[in-house]
Structure 1
């Protein structure tokens, strides 16, 4: 019987996790977001690797959120992914490098072009998508061009916390699945959790060659992501929503409502358009979205939904 391993995936939204958090989660492997499109590099790659390795993660892979709609752009994004993974995480040939395919109108031919670019550069290409998006792709055509298939489907909706052992009565049946992402809130830590289904998935993490913390650099355990004058590292508001302090900039790629509360029913402050920028100091998952909080004059705050919490598709880019 194939051994099951717990895998988490890490992006900027998990930058607050500490070494102790990773120890409590107890995952075996991690997949770290490197890039998105050709204009975003995750600024927390090194700290995510260092802290998770210090918390017991034994093997790593990396992923890219694809934004392409044609073969040429797919190749450009794959090369951007490879170059920045080398620069930021010193990835070595043979590393598992995964395409996160979640947007609409992404051609199968372009997926294949991306995967082949990764493979030709000496890496193991992986393909990730959601069960409900599978009809958008020709999986049989993609299969020979990928070394690992990672499929997402959540038995528990609305961000409910899930354990490490999913209910296989809800398994998203499909061909070639090596790993199942079964929750976006593993053990209540607001981190995506997956379980391996094949030996192939386990072998591709190359645990004996996992990245290690930078030499002569102590592992950061409680370094705050923001200035001490901002609110506590994380807290629960009056509505029971847990917020995480993170200072950043969000640039919208579509029309969005800036509201007085983190709810679709809250009053609108303004309409944001593509290219509009919001500086935020905290984020939370609630009401089916990821919201960020914008500090405003007189101690007030604005809130905007910046990502679909079900599909993880962002509505812009983060810096």
Structure 2
């Protein structure tokens, strides 16, 4: 097989120029989309556009996970998926990767996250460092990942494109090895594919050949009042487009996700007016409202439980 060098890009690489990418001479890149449920990489478009102009023709995307339980994993997967679609129009079958670098991340939660990505139509990747690998049950994760990417640097990490395979991490299923954090002295992580699968998963992506778009996707049919738009999220909740204003009847928590386990953005006092654009009912009968926010990440609050409204609708 032909091994290929690729880079991963986050806000730390925002100053790389088109000429820098040409000097790096790579054809593949993995771009950071999000972290936890409160951060979206503000340089996504710039990183994709400049790297594509510099020769990159296949893209994958990653999320830095901070969850420590299954419920948080569901919320972070939704956040990753939603922002990938909204910010860069990520297509089905694209390789979407979980970056697992924190202590205390359960294997069960990794599986929940990867399963949510796969259920949403994406190829799935798992990334971690050799120092953390023993904390995960790789055999249990294997059925849910299409691509395994492992970081392990030699004592003196090389800066060139010739990794010393005497330091290759001895682990099963490795498709790509991240071997340096300073490729060609440009302060960008360098990795190399080591299996045919490692190349194929990239190349089979619908975002290969530089087709990742900086423009959000647009619905082919515009919804009308007689034909409201509905969709099902990764938690299995069915959302219905509806535009209105909800006035809180008492103090209500505004959260980053539509679950009571989601982090609280703020507590809204009684009489607060919330403009919402969709609603959904969860399995215990709570009606959640989705509030669009200027930072591109929606907020959520409970507007009704059963037949009892927690405020008034306008």
Q: Which band: TM-score by shorter chain?
A: 0.5 to 0.7
- Which residue in the other structure is 2:164 paired with? 167
Secondary structure of the residue aligned to 1:187 is helix
Are the equivalent residues in 2 in contact too, given 1:161–1:188 (CA < 8 A)? Answer: no
8 Å contact from structure 2 (residues 14, 43) kept in 1 = yes
Please show how residues 175-214 of structure 1 align to structure 2 within 5 Å: 175-206=172-203, 208-211=208-211
The 3-state SS of whatever aligns with 2:184 is: coil
C-alpha separation in 1, matches of 2:160 and 2:83? 33
Q: Is the 8 A contact 1:53 1:212 kept in 2?
A: no
Q: Classify the secondary structure of the residue corresponding to 1:23.
A: helix
Q: Pairwise mapping of residues 1-319 of structure 1 onto structure 2 (< 5 A)? A: 2-157=1-156, 162-206=159-203, 208-211=208-211
Q: 1:60 and 1:72, CA in 2 relative to 1: closer, same or farther beyond 3 A?
A: same
User: In the TM superposition, what is the alpha-carbon distance from 1:199 to its structure 2 partner?
Assistant: 1.3
CA shift for structure 1 position 28? 1.6
**Are 1:49 and 1:211, in contact at CA under 8 Å, matched by a contact in 2?**
no
- Is this contact kept in 2: 1:156–1:162, CA < 8 A? no
Alpha-carbon distance in structure 2 between the residues aligned to 1:181 and 1:200: 16
Cα 1:213–1:23, aligned 2, differ >3 Å: closer, same or farther? farther
Deviations 1:287-315 (A, max 9, x none): xxxxxxxxxxxxxxxxxxxxxxxxxxxxx
Change (3 A) 1:113 1:151: same
Cα distance in 2, alignment partners of residues 28 and 51 from structure 1:
13
3-state DSSP of counterpart to 2:51: helix
CA 1:56–1:213 in 2, change beyond 3 Å: closer, same or farther?
Answer: farther
Deviation, 1:203, is 1.4
Count of residues paired in the alignment: 212
Q: CA deviation at 1:204?
A: 1.4
| Distance of aligned partners of 1:66 and 1:212 in 2 relative to their CA distance in 1, 3 Å threshold | closer
Partner of 1:266: none
Q: Give the conservation status (yes or no) of the 8 Å contact 1:150–1:178.
A: yes
With over 3 angstroms needed to count, the CA separation of the structure-2 counterparts of 1:212 and 1:62, relative to structure 1, is: closer
Deviation at 1:213, TM superposition (A): 6.5
Query: Which structure 1 residue ranges, 4+ long, deviate > 2 Å from structure 2?
Result: 206-215
Q: What is the distance in 2 between the residues matched to 1:31 and 1:127?
A: 12
CA offsets per residue over residues 69-119 of structure 1, 9 Å max, x none? 000100110110000011111100000000000000000000000000000
Gaps of 5+ in 2: 216-314
Unaligned runs of 5+ in 1: 216-319
SS at match of 1:91: coil
- Distance (Å, rounded) in 2 between the aligned partners of 1:187 and 1:145: 34
1:50 to 1:156, Cα distance in 2 relative to 1, 3 A: farther
SS in 1 for 2:31: strand
> How far apart are residue 210 of structure 1 and its match?
3.1
- Whole-Å separation in 1 of the counterparts to 2:49 and 2:33: 15
2:59·2:212 contact (CA, 8 Å) conserved in 1? no
CA contact (8 A) 2:88 2:214 kept: no
State the shift of 1:173 in Å: 1.0
Secondary structure in 1 matching 2:132? helix
Decide whether the 8 Å contact of 2:90 with 2:213 is kept in 1.
no
